[in-house]
Amino acid sequence: MDVSAFDFDLPERLIAQTPLSDRTASRLMTLNSRTGEIQHKHFSDLIDMLAPGDLLVMNDTKVLPARLYGVKADTGAKAELLLLKPLGDDRWETLAKPGKRLKEGAVIVFGDDPLSPLLRATVEAETEGGGRIVAFQYEGVFLELLERLGHMPLPPYIKEQLEDKDRYQTVYAANPGSAAAPTAGLHFTEEYLQRIRASGVRTATVTLHVGLGTFRPVSADKVEEHVMHAEYYDVPGETARAVRETKKRGGRVVAVGTTSARTLETAAQQILSGTDEDVSGWTDIFIYPGYTFLAVDALITNFHLPKSTLLMMISALAGRERVLEAYREAVDREYRFFSFGDAMFIY
């Protein structure tokens, strides 16, 4: 299938640059995947779309303040690292700027005093994609230093840092490791989740640490030729049991965001076979039309960019033509797109 089949006209003004002050104030489009019926609501109406016995599955990953600004130890020239993946022993895969000046052996220092830095990074190697493998040296706790020195790795179309770092975290974020937020979850408040639970809807969590592959466009001409970047995931045993129990009782498994959906579908066979153990590993699952969902029955998601793998995933759930028709209506009605945008419920 041609990637161009997932193209549509998206005015730049509809790509949300800032979050709404009230998390639940976003608009909500609903799409019936069987009939194609579209309705326009507010996110606070989602509770009326859920039923007692449904299971809401959320990705509890926490975004690391993974963008570090420092200087080269030898010249004082500005340098930047974006942490992508931990490799063990304080070594990380990173994106580096300016890459041409950060050769093997280069040292970058971070902190107010370059002569007595809080954190040092030594470039060990260059990756195939132009990134850098770096080894960090420091005293203390690495994650505490990141909280002190790092900045949120906001999507590239957002030009300013957030005054409130927590606005790019879900309220249920618990496990640090992501380079980007699972943004469908940004619409929830703890109070709203309590109301949903009180209505008879169960909740459960999975973890998928989101990498920067979520921002990378599809460069292949054919959908089938695109290669996904691997991301670490974990499905707790209690979540696997909750999924099985929900399906046995006739409830729906509702994934909050495409990352939760990818995680559940990666582990679906083990979940449905009856495992009570945690299921974890690295996933590069690529879901596009023709895929049959095994675990996920419904999906809460934001609006995605043209030709993106995320748009392809939701097209697998609801059908490409229905999704694109819904997206054209979203553009006409000026829904806000992408990370800080409005929401969609596909059921």
Reported as a single tens digit per residue, the pLDDT across 253-279 is 999 999 999 999 999 999 999 999 999
Indicate whether 88 and 232 sit together in one domain. Answer: no
Domain co-membership, 55 together with 94: no
Q: Is 159 inside a domain boundary?
A: no
Q: What is the mean pLDDT of the chain?
A: 94
Q: For 157-215, what is each residue's pLDDT tens digit?
A: 777 677 787 889 999 999 999 988 999 999 999 999 999 999 999 999 999 999 876 66
Q: Where are the alpha helices (DSSP H) in 56-202?
A: 142-149, 190-198
Q: Is 157 a domain residue?
A: no
| Co-location of 138 and 51 in the same domain | no
Residue 99's domain is classified under what CATH number? 2.40.10.240
Last residue of a domain, one of 149, 182, 213: 149
- Among 91, 117, 149, give the residue marking a domain's end: 149
237 with 286, same domain: the answer is yes
- Domain end: 114, 149, 184, which one? 149
The CATH number assigned to the domain holding 307 equals 3.40.1780.10
Residue 319 shares a structural domain with residue 271: yes
Same domain, 116 and 208: no
On whether both 45 and 87 belong to a single domain, the answer is no
Q: Phi and psi (nearest 5°) for 144?
A: -70, -40
Assess if residue 158 is contained within a domain: no
Q: Report CA-CA distances (Å) from 280 to 93, 236, 264.
A: 21, 8, 11
In a domain, 10, yes or no: yes
Residue 18 near residue 185 (C-beta atoms within 8 A): no
pTM of the prediction?
0.89
Domain count, the chain: 2
- Give, rounded to a whole angstrom, the gap between the first and last alpha carbons of the chain: 25
3-state helix, strand, coil in the chain (%, to 5): 30, 30, 40
Average the pLDDT over 83-91 and give the result: 91
Does residue 156 sit within a domain? no
pLDDT for the residue 215: 61
Its domain, for residue 71, covers 67-149
